[in-house]
Structure 1
Amino acid sequence: MTEEKKATKEAKSDEVVSFKGRFTSAVGRRKRAIAQVHLYQNGKGVVMVNDIKATQYFPPSILPIISQPLKLAGHFKDFNMSIHVSGGGIKGQAEAVRHGISRALVKIDSEIRPSL
């Protein structure tokens, strides 16, 4: 049984991606959910939510909500994102993340604000 625990701890540590370098941060809110978003430039499109990959944290039906501002701005794979989200339900958290990503993108390039 201890071997299984060690294996899961090693697998979990492999999933955590270390983000380094300059980033732009913003806070998004929706209902009771709050998301702190850090966009790292020159990334490969890695999205970590509470130290878990976004595809594992959110159900597949919710993932398009998160990627919406990136698609509208044309920066789908240009940034790595580290997100800490708390409060509310899954949908409220996803919408808070979307709000935070939108605000961070506007900080980077204010000309994309009308499209968001």
Structure 2
Amino acid sequence: MDSHDPTVTDPGLYKVIFENERVRVLEYRDEPGDHTHVHRHPDSVMVTLSDFRRQVSSGGRSVEVDLRAGEARWVGAQEHAGENIGDTATHSIFIELKEPPPAIGSTVAAPLGPSGG
């Protein structure tokens, strides 16, 4: 297992709840003030089960995101660390894709954090 896998970097926050040859599904839970170590996600869909506010950081960049329960967001492959900067617990599900992305003529860096969908 990759040392930047979120279940390795933050086993108290990430838990595998389903896995097969095509996808892996992670459950993520934290409390206000909790933070993650630097970790990687492949292309994923994130489903929010609670309202929460986070700061996501990577390579000297940082963004704040406010998410509402019941949202589904695309998270392009990325490496980052995060912190719960709100006053509510975070509860979300990540559906990580194991298949390689489709070939595209040019590569564009994925936005940091989840993007609207």
Structure 1 length as normaliser, TM-score?
0.28
Considering fraction of residues, name the structure with more strand: 2
Considering fraction of residues, name the structure with more helix: 1
Structure 2 length as normaliser, TM-score?
0.28
- Which entry has the higher C-alpha Rg, 1 or 2? 1
